[in-house]
Each structure stands twice: as C-alpha cells, then as structure tokens.
Structure 1
Amino acid sequence: MSILAVLASALGLLVAAPLTASANSFSPHADNSAHSFYFDDDLSAAQKNGVNWARQNSLAPTDMTTSVNATYNTKVDVWVYSTWNPPSDLRNAYAWASCIRRVNAAKCEQHELVINNRVPHSNYKSLGCHEIGHTVGLGHASGKNSSYTTPNRSCMRGNPDHNYYSTHDKNHINGAY
C-alpha cells in the first residue's frame, strides 16, 4: 500500500469519526453535578428572576441538577450577588463568575456570580445562562458554539444574546458530570 493510500485512509477515518463533545475550557469548574444557588438580597428583581430562570431552564436537559438555598453557607455552589463597586479590570463587564473556594486546580467548590449594577444588561436570562455556564466548565463560544442558528446558538457567546446552551455545550456538560 502506498504512503498516499495510507494517508487518504487515515484522513477518511478522521472525517468519519464522530467528534467528542468538548468546549473551551474554563477552569476551575463545579466539583459536582448538584449545583446549589444562593441569591443575595442585593439583587434587583430583574437580576434575580433572570438568573433564577437560567438556573431552572438553561441547564435542562443536562445531567446537572440545581436547587436554591434560603441562606448563605459555605456549602452553596454558586453565590449570586450584585455590586456597584467592581474591580477596575471588570468595570465594563456586565457580570463575571469566579471561583472563591477551590478543591484543586481544575475543580471549584464554590463560585461567585457577580452582576455589575453599573452596566445594566437587557436580558438577565441570557446573562445568567452565560455566567452559570462558566461555573460548569464552559468557556466563551467558538466554532460550533458561535453560530447564530439554532441548535448551535449558545448563550456562551462573548456578548450573550440567547437564553440556552447549544447542543454542543449540553454534550460537554453531560460528559463532565
């Protein structure tokens, strides 16, 4: 068999093989598939309702389960609050998610999801979807995720304008949890 035939055969296998689900890595991500949330009382009704809607709807159907805690404690997976005083490097950001209690370099026991009151967003459902995505390991959309067409449209775009994860994103979540 010629080397050209071997290369053509290998290329055919690569093209025919299904792609595994993956997404831009955003580390650290949640340490378990049961994601609990605490909504601080400093959130506006629109902010709280939008993020809570995303919690209930955007992750469905995936292998993640969610709940809401009535009080804050160190076992809460995602603490959601707003601020009028963002760090200087985040002054122009609508919101951000970051790990505040690590398990190790790749996993986080507790995230904060902070909404910037100085930069209002027009759709807190999509913003909540986007930031919750970071807490479960999704990065900003690229490739399949960046499509404007459904089902490949995703709230993980850099400027979220959609309330759901793409099929690709959901496959990534299900593969991780």
Structure 2
Amino acid sequence: MYSVTARGRHEHVAFTSPAPIQVHRGVSMNRFVRAFAIFAAALGISLTTVQPASANSFGPVFADNGAHSFFLDDDLSSGQKAGMNWARSSSLNPTDMTTSLNKTYNKQVDVWAYGTWKPTGDQTRWYAWAKCVKMVSGSKTKCDQYTIVFNHKLPHSNYKALACHETGHTVGLGHESGKNSSFTSAARSCLRASPDHNYYSNHDKSHINGRY
C-alpha cells in the first residue's frame, strides 16, 4: 500500500502476494550525487553541479495489462474527481497505456477511487493511499483491481499531483528519490514532492512504456 503523509513525506507499505497479502513498512532511500570540482587552467577553481540521479522502484506488483479503467465514486469531492480525471487523461494517457472512465462500478474496473471520513491508524496522517485489493488469479505480480482512497479529513492543496502520485502506484511505480527542486522539468515527477508536480518524469514513463 502506498500513501502520502500530511507532512508531505512519502511513505511506502509494500506487500507480497498471493492473498492474504502480508504488508510491512518500507523506507524509500534517497540517492545523492555530489558536486564535482573542475579545475580550469590558470583561472582557479570552478564548481559544476551534476544532475542528481533519478531512481524509483517498479513493481513487484503491476497492473494486469495496458488498458487501465477507472471508476470515480460519488463520495469524492469535485476537486478529487478533477484530480483523478487529470491524472488519467493528462498524466497516464500520454504513455503507452490507454485509459477509460466507467460511469458505474463493476468488478472488472482496474481502479476504484473513493473517499473516507473514517481513516484509521497511520491513515489519519495520509492524504490518500493506493492498494491492490484483488490479484489476478494465479498471478503473484498482476493486480486485477486497485483502490485509491482519499482522506476527506485531510484535504490536499493539489489533487492533480496527488491523484497522479496514487495512480502511478496502480501501474507499479514506486516513490521517486530526492526533491523535485533538484531536477530539470523533464525529470520532475508526481512520485516525489518539494514541490508537487502534476506529471510523470521521463524516468517514470520509461518504466511504464517498457512494461505495457
């Protein structure tokens, strides 16, 4: 299960399968790239900063295929629905995956997004979380249905970024390392914060396109 905390820190609860799914807390490790000193002849010392390496986990659980369908429950706020529609059409759809929006719920929908007023335990500190609730029969790596749950008691200032983040988890993307402020535009990702970003990085998209 994946989440974003109220303090902006990303938390990752990984699971193994098949059901029942055993969960344990994990910690995303940040990778740092140091600046290297370059000595210029007769001109003293100049310092060049190297672009930090972009890294995130992918899997071990993925969507069942490249066609990703969504159902947005009526209990979502207008902002949450708009964020989910943005994530589907503007963040995920430009990849090799295709998306669709179901008007009614059925057991075949890939992502069911809804809200709760009753978060429990650690969820009280999370803006939202994604979880695989049904694995493909006989598979240890393919999820048949995910839920994305929004915490109504903890509103977020940017539901586009939040929905992009949680939707990314439903296709197998883990948290990106580092801070977005350290990266160029193409390398910024909704899978990391500081500041929030509404899109997947080129690194994220290479994961998605390579799988689906």
TM-score, scaled relative to structure 2: 0.69
CA distance in 1, matches of 2:195, 2:130: 14
Higher mean displacement: 107-116 or 55-64? 55-64
Change (3 A) 1:160 1:174: farther
Number of equivalenced pairs: 157
Checking the alignment, whether the CA contact within 8 Å between 2:66 and 2:97 is kept in structure 1 is: yes
Instruction: Tell me if the contact between 1:23 and 1:172 (Cα under 8 Å) persists in the aligned partners.
Output: no
Aligned to 1:153: 188
Partner of 1:101: 134
Query: Please, what is the CA RMSD of the aligned residues?
Result: 2.1
Q: For 1:14-33, list aligned pairs within 5 A.
A: 23-33=56-66
More helix by share: 1
Distance 1:156 1:31, change over 3 A: same
Q: Counterpart in 2 of 1:131?
A: 166
**Which residue number in structure 2 is paired with residue 55 of structure 1?**
88
Q: Which has the higher strand share?
A: 2
Distance apart, 1:48 and its partner CA: 0.5
SS of equivalent to 1:80: strand
Residue in 2 that maps onto 1:174:
209
The answer to whether the 8 Å contact 1:130/1:160 transfers is: no
Secondary structure of the corresponding residue to residue 58 of structure 1: helix
Give the TM-score taking structure 1 as reference length.
0.82
Cα offset for 1:147? 4.1
SS at match of 2:58: coil
Aligned equivalents of 1:77, 1:95: Cα separation in 2: 17
| Structure 1: tracts of 5 or more residues without a match | 1-20
| Separation of aligned partners in 2, 1:155 and 1:131 | 9
Name stretches of at least 5 consecutive residues in structure 2 with no aligned partner: 1-53
Q: 1:83 to 1:120 in 2, by over 3 A?
A: same
